[in-house]
Structure 1
Amino acid sequence: MSPAPSRFSRLLAMVPYFLARQGIEMSVAAAELGVTQAQLKTDLEQLYVCGLPGHAGGDLIDIQFWDGYVTVLFTAGIDRPLRLTGTEANVLLVALRMLLDAQGALAGDAIRRAVAKVEEAAGASRAVVIDDGTDRAEHPASAAIREAVAAKRALALRYYTPSRDALTERIVDPIRVQVVDGTSYLDAWCRESQGRRIFRFDRVQEATVLPEASNPPADVVAVPVALPTHDASLPVARLAIDPSAVWVVEYYQARLLEEADPADPTAPVLAELTYASPEWLARLVQSLGGRVSVVSDDERSRQVRALIDASAGAALARYGAVAEGGSPR
């Protein structure tokens, strides 16, 4: 049997349901709707005081059910299907497009079917929505993650952690999937670290659904988590980032300390970045060609700058050896 719908969904469907089955016995209706007779009576009592704005005698839904049978006397217009306006259709289509671009939280095929249904329902009232045909291929691990969450199964992951520049393998108990700023995240309990962790879909290299049930601690599941999260035990560096490299903030989950200055579009922005390895942070800063610099002055930040200077000095020495006719070592 399919799961019973939520009460709100059930209430929306009840008037046309009973209108098409005038005089149906309450016990039969309760069985078809997947609820108890007591719940059905409560729902009908709720419907009896619903209707059009004003809530006067002729505006409320009128359903008779006192004798054990249900008859609709007045629908207050809820039996008439609504047609989306062009604006409403476009809002839905744009929202669906954003979900499609989020890559992971929902199946792309399901979203495209929803788009087709909205367009068909809107009909001639639908305004033109530009589709540039740039849908990206779904990440290979996304389907497995969704399956594990829906089936409440554990997951085996191979995950890339940028702050450590490393691939790790771990078993996790999925809690939920969330989308933040167009990025899909898996909220899960990590058995290896014995803690709650957040995994970006696009950094999961492989995901395998395991036969065992997902069993995160109940006290952890009950507490919502802000996304993305950061490990407080790791060091933090303050960075000055050129506006041309501000994408670093989003990609490496840094925290902006100040927004770009509209009066000076060339001024760097300040951000804090959590990292695990000074060598990794030094390589990151070097790879960005001077567009990012470490400006914090704690011992670890000074170590990072020393690594950058030593690497730059070694590179210059190699270039000098080549220029003098030698060979790089």
Structure 2
Amino acid sequence: MPPSSGSVSGRSTAASAERLLNLLIALLDRESGYTRDQLREIVPGYHKAGSHDAFERMFERDKAHLRSLGYPVEEIPDDDPWATDVQLAPRYRVSRGSYQLPQVQFSAEESAVLAVAADAWNDAAQDRLARRALDKLEPALSHEAAPGRDVQPTVAVADPAFEPLLSAVLSHRTVRFDYVDRTGAFSRRTVQPWGVGSRFGAWYLAGWDEDRQAQRTFRLTRIISEVAITRDGFEPPEDFSMGGQLARMVLPPTRVRVTIYVRQGAAQLLRQIATPLTEEDPHLPEGFDAVLLAVSDTEGAAEHVCAAGPDARVATAAGADLEIQRAVARAVERRLTEAKKFQDRVGGCEVVWGKQRRNGAAKASTEQHLARLLHIVRHVYSHQGAQLEETARHFGITDQELIADLQTLFVCGRPGHMPDQLIDASWDDGHIYLGNARELSEPVRLTVPEASALLMGLQTLQALPGGNSDVVRSTMRKVATAADALPLADALAAPDQPAELVPEDTELMSQLRQAITNNRRVKIRYVVASRDEVTERLVDPVRIVSSDGHQYVRGWCLNANGPRTFRADCILSCEDMGQAQAHPRMDSETRTSLYPEKRRPVQAVLVTDRRGRWIVEHYHAKRVATVDLPPAEEPPVPVTGGPGGLAGPGGPGGSKGPKPLPEYVAAEVDFPTAEALSSLVTRHAGHVAVASPPEVVRTVEQWINNSLFMGTTQL
């Protein structure tokens, strides 16, 4: 029976990790280092390179792996006095002491907030970095019990521009990208990226706009091209703080107040952000309620009304300012018309799914395996004789996987690989002992990407109600010290702010937080947005989760007899119902998941344009493909600004411009209900539509047509 692709991939990853570990030991072995040819001879695994060029590529990849784990591979000149210039070749080494963790120690409270920050990332790549950083900091963490936190931030990144921008921020490299502002105008920007961070549920880039010669802030969801990282370097201002930049951002004032008619018993999310109107309205249709919606601008009001679909319409014959009322109604009609036009172009289009790429999967697996081997050495050296089962649980792996890792360590060692040069590993009696690997047991400093992943989790924690504390701030400085990059903490932490800038809990959230602290059961009235209904639930709340600018209550729902997550702004009321019970399934959760048991019965294929591409990431598409659509009736909007102006969004520009993204992308996505999917289409009018299956397409089309009918009956 042929081996499965998974088992072959696992053996390949293990072999690569074994080769890398032997290379690291060789580079640590002597200060004078080894040449490439010498390393090819003495490191097991390099003999599999069939040619000189294949070895060169393998060696370059291996050096990058070791450097990304915090071991600075140095290239030094050959010190052989008898060699000729032709014979001289550079030598490679990892200098002793160059990778050691600086002297740093975390208190019990600091260790607790550090664990919360490391658990924050929903992005796989950043999650790996944060957890690897926490593993490296294990010797510096306090083992004293600290008060548990009832708040868990989560950092979710749905913007493909995030990774390259973060890389450019850390490497101080100028970037170029195509951008669309709030008015819909396109331009190409050349920016010195100073920092990235999240605020109000969105991610932002702050930096120096070279075309405008001014500091600017860009919302990542409005970047409509790939981010091109140039070779141009820069030095950010010493006094710049991304945390401070985010803290100074405030929600725009509510300048627009508009009366909306909502169908009785429906549009629950719209009702949550509006105020009921009790005065008589002679124009109020039968079966509707009148609410007052206060937002920052006309487009914001129109977006909320469009999301409610046929269950809401703008009152154009009543309200405080009829001109504003009618302006919002016109915006609603325009957005719904754009949604219909795009849906008509997309409905039934053919999607050809190609081979799905897993970018960086092999690199991540190899690095992750090597990082685990090194962590096992460090952990066992400080806990000699640890029980095998207990150690396996500590690393979150099975006993068999731990034994396989120990067997890998057992065959690794210094060049020559004689018995006295190999790592001494034994576990026969169920207790693990390691020896002859002192150089690998030393704590390793954090890399800048690892420290950044932890710091951004701490930054998110700092922005929560009650999170802007001295403990979080001191933890950030120690994390940056562990990477020998103290300016990172200054750049990400918010400076001391007046108390009024720190977000405060609402009365309802304070009541829920108190219920968690005092272990109380509560009865809540809750809006189920996907079904647009209000339900009553008995809940034993466990923690509060913050994600994408929203707060969620995680707990055991007695109605469902299982763990559930409730969005805080959908909770209408909260009543104490006595002492809560212990639920082992809740206690066994190691990670906070917002939707671990959520059923997603509606499977659909979405098509988005470049402005809606973040939706593909946000809803965790199963597969993605580029599609072609019939041409639109209107010509493309011209792109302005920046050198080498473009003919259209992402069109041809200068040779150094960013690579344009595909104009349209199809994605297979799951949704809780067809109504939730229909609301997404009308909310993001003209940027997302549904291609299949036919029954869901018909539901969406009917939703759009009914919404248009509701909006035009009063225009």
TM-score relative to the length of structure 1: 0.52
Equivalent in the alignment of 1:244? 611
How far apart, CA to CA, are the structure 1 residues paired with 2:534 and 2:558?
16
Equivalent in the alignment of 2:685? 289
How far apart, CA to CA, are the structure 1 residues paired with 2:662 and 2:529?
28
Unaligned runs of 5+ in 1: 1-5, 13-46, 51-83, 319-327
Q: Do structure 1's residue 308 and structure 2's residue 704 form an aligned pair?
A: yes
CA contact (8 A) 2:527 2:571 kept: yes
2:503 partner SS: coil
2:560 partner SS: coil
Please list, as runs of the form range in 1=range in 2, the aligned pairs for 1:135-214 lying within 5 A after superposition.
Answer: 137-140=503-506, 141-178=508-545, 185-201=552-568, 203-206=569-572, 208=574, 210=576, 212-214=578-580
Please list, as runs of the form range in 1=range in 2, the aligned pairs for 1:78-117 lying within 5 A after superposition.
Answer: 94-101=456-463, 103=464, 108-117=465-474
CA contact (8 A) 1:187 1:199 kept: yes
CA contact (8 A) 2:456 2:492 kept: no
Structure 1 residue 310: deviation in Å? 4.8
Q: What code does the residue aligned with 2:667 have?
A: L
Equivalent in the alignment of 2:661? 264
Structure 1 residue 147: deviation in Å? 2.8
CA contact (8 A) 1:158 1:205 kept: yes
Q: What code does the residue aligned with 2:690 have?
A: V
Equivalent in the alignment of 1:276? 673
CA contact (8 A) 2:461 2:467 kept: no
CA distances 1:43-99 after superposition (whole Å, capped 9, x unpaired):
xxxx9989xxxxxxxxxxxxxxxxxxxxxxxxxxxxxxxxx99x7998765442122
1:173 partner SS: strand
CA contact (8 A) 1:240 1:293 kept: yes
Structure 1 residue 154: deviation in Å? 1.3
Q: What code does the residue aligned with 2:521 have?
A: A
How far apart, CA to CA, are the structure 2 residues paired with 1:242 and 1:312?
22
Count of paired positions:
239
Q: What code does the residue aligned with 1:307 have?
A: W
CA distances 1:2-23 after superposition (whole Å, capped 9, x unpaired):
xxxx9x84579xxxxxxxxxxx
Structure 1 residue 178: deviation in Å? 4.9
How far apart, CA to CA, are the structure 2 residues paired with 1:297 and 1:119?
49
Q: What code does the residue aligned with 1:161 have?
A: V
How far apart, CA to CA, are the structure 1 residues paired with 2:468 and 2:678?
42
Equivalent in the alignment of 1:235? 602
Structure 1 residue 172: deviation in Å? 0.8
2:491 partner SS: coil
Structure 1 residue 177: deviation in Å? 4.5
Evaluate the alpha carbon distance shift between residue 277 and residue 215 of structure 1 in structure 2; reply closer, same or farther with a 3 A threshold. Answer: farther
CA contact (8 A) 1:145 1:207 kept: no
Evaluate the alpha carbon distance shift between residue 113 and residue 235 of structure 1 in structure 2; reply closer, same or farther with a 3 A threshold. Answer: same
Q: What code does the residue aligned with 1:114 have?
A: V
Equivalent in the alignment of 2:64? none
RMSD: 4.8
Equivalent in the alignment of 1:129? 491
CA contact (8 A) 2:681 2:689 kept: yes
How far apart, CA to CA, are the structure 1 residues paired with 2:709 and 2:144?
72
Q: What code does the residue aligned with 1:293 have?
A: A
2:537 partner SS: strand
Evaluate the alpha carbon distance shift between residue 271 and residue 116 of structure 1 in structure 2; reply closer, same or farther with a 3 A threshold. Answer: same
CA contact (8 A) 1:147 1:209 kept: no
CA contact (8 A) 1:188 1:197 kept: yes
Structure 1 residue 315: deviation in Å? 5.8
CA distances 1:188-225 after superposition (whole Å, capped 9, x unpaired):
22223334322234x34456362512226445654667
Evaluate the alpha carbon distance shift between residue 126 and residue 275 of structure 1 in structure 2; reply closer, same or farther with a 3 A threshold. Answer: closer
2:469 partner SS: helix
2:692 partner SS: coil
1:149 partner SS: helix
Structure 1 residue 170: deviation in Å? 2.1
Structure 1 residue 293: deviation in Å? 1.0
How far apart, CA to CA, are the structure 1 residues paired with 2:599 and 2:511?
30
Structure 1 residue 269: deviation in Å? 4.5
Structure 1 residue 308: deviation in Å? 2.4
Q: Do structure 1's residue 255 and structure 2's residue 620 form an aligned pair?
A: yes
CA contact (8 A) 1:257 1:271 kept: yes
CA contact (8 A) 1:174 1:216 kept: no
Evaluate the alpha carbon distance shift between residue 303 and residue 130 of structure 1 in structure 2; reply closer, same or farther with a 3 A threshold. Answer: closer
Evaluate the alpha carbon distance shift between residue 248 and residue 49 of structure 1 in structure 2; reply closer, same or farther with a 3 A threshold. Answer: closer
1:268 partner SS: strand
CA contact (8 A) 2:624 2:668 kept: no
Unaligned runs of 5+ in 2: 1-111, 113-140, 146-381, 386-444, 627-658
Equivalent in the alignment of 2:136? none
Structure 1 residue 173: deviation in Å? 1.4
CA contact (8 A) 2:678 2:703 kept: yes
CA contact (8 A) 1:173 1:190 kept: yes
How far apart, CA to CA, are the structure 1 residues paired with 2:600 and 2:472?
44
Q: Do structure 1's residue 215 and structure 2's residue 612 form an aligned pair?
A: no
How far apart, CA to CA, are the structure 1 residues paired with 2:546 and 2:624?
23
Equivalent in the alignment of 2:25? none
RCO higher in structure (CA 8 A, sep ≥6): 2
Evaluate the alpha carbon distance shift between residue 10 and residue 111 of structure 1 in structure 2; reply closer, same or farther with a 3 A threshold. Answer: same
CA contact (8 A) 2:473 2:493 kept: no
How far apart, CA to CA, are the structure 1 residues paired with 2:559 and 2:518?
22
Evaluate the alpha carbon distance shift between residue 291 and residue 165 of structure 1 in structure 2; reply closer, same or farther with a 3 A threshold. Answer: farther
How far apart, CA to CA, are the structure 2 residues paired with 1:130 and 1:195?
38
How far apart, CA to CA, are the structure 2 residues paired with 1:306 and 1:110?
46
How far apart, CA to CA, are the structure 1 residues paired with 2:597 and 2:562?
12
Structure 1 residue 161: deviation in Å? 3.1
How far apart, CA to CA, are the structure 1 residues paired with 2:383 and 2:693?
68
1:164 partner SS: coil
Q: What code does the residue aligned with 2:673 have?
A: A
